[in-house]
Chain A
Amino acid sequence: MYLLWLRVAAVLYGLASMSALPAVLGDRPRWQKVCLPLTIGGWFFHFVAFVEMLAAAHRLMPVGMYQVESTLGLLIVTAFLLIWMRYRTISFGVFALPLAFLVVLVPAIGPDKYTFSSSLVRSGWIVIHVTLLLAAYVALIFSLLASLFYLAQERKLKDRESPGFLEWLPPLDTMDRIAQTTLVFGFYCMTGGLLIGSLIAQERVGAAYFLDPKVVLSFLMWGLYVVMLFVRRSTGLRGKRAVYLSSAVFVVMLCVWAANIFSSVHRFTTP
């Protein structure tokens, strides 16, 4: 049954993505009234699908690639809605909603072909580890988006471009606050996620786990994250330099994501 709700959510996200274009780029209030209810509706069905999925399997953990993707999609839309509630801007919808739609589309097509069969993933701590890291990724995506918006708005104001193009961009101050808030939130999530992951690994696999490329890259990403936070906070870094830093961490994040292929121990299939 959860697939049905997930498909409904995917359709609503698709429609919300389309309505986000005139709502944001055309600054049409009528489309904003369409976009937000569609997104909230999509989020609701997505959440129902998520709960049903876990309830049907009698566990708390998404144990397949599709399910993890679906969870990531849910977190992206949740972040978008939280930002809308806090800062009253739907500008992120232009990117966040199509991204959520694409991420949810594949899991909505059919059931998982690849599942994590390892008994390890049944652990309650693993659930927190995965959820926190996914939340950190989402926060990082939004922080990068906010920094890019900041840069575009800054360029527009500096070049004194005539209104129309990029007129939809939110004020610089709003972008700066969103970038900072998501960055700090992402840092807490990533630190917590890595800490829990490390404790589990120490207990189950031992010290050898920390030589794995995936794990090494994860700690490198965390290190970069700390540097970025420190620099931004101490110097008030904004604009293009902030984008460079956020992009660097984002690239490392993609590497960490991709490193699963090379990882020998961060695999959750039964041997």
Chain B
Amino acid sequence: MHAAERPAPALIRIRNLAKSYRRGGQVVPVLTDITLDVRAGDFLGLMGPSGSGKSTLLNLIAGIDKPDAGEILFDGVDITRLGERELADWRAGTVGFVFQFYNLMPVLTAYENVELPLTLTRLSRRERRAHVEAALALVGLSERMAHYPAELSGGQQQRVAIARAIISDPRLIVADEPTGDLDRHSAAEVLALMDRLNTDLGKTIVMVTHDRRAAERAHAIMYLDKGELSTAADVHERSVR
């Protein structure tokens, strides 16, 4: 995906991935024979109409769903073969999640929400504090640490979610419509932040979006339609024909 001169090795190698759902006794294919490489440091945007399977693909990459067939190799490890416990450990150490509706714990403050993934580690309270303060400073919310989600704007909540996503220093960040619930100004702030995570911290980002402005932040855009994946060039070629 990277247009750089020295292509990095693929961090994620997806081969012949297929996924279908059962609806009312019928099998509905969502993804068919998806093959894709994502290199370390990539910022990949996934676009497509509703129901095209882009969120399903993102969930499979993030290890929160299982495919019917195919493999997803993350740094050489086929995560489709991991058990529930192993997969949970893998997610905790490798993946940061940014959801459309932030998915913060409403009963925890911004500080406590960001700290949450670190409670799964062996870090001391003092170490955790240092990490959380740094993450909240990075997203510009040092002054809002003690605020509960309900006391923050949508944009601020999403920035807290981003701080939570990066707190355990994951190599991959998956974002499902991260600006879908935000006004234009807040969306721009969140996208700028994601851009920084990619360029300054070297995080590999896979982002699902409907928003073309959001997709423009990505280094590469893939389109999903009726379960099939294509590049921008393919889409252009099809539209010319």
Are A and B co-members of a single complex? no
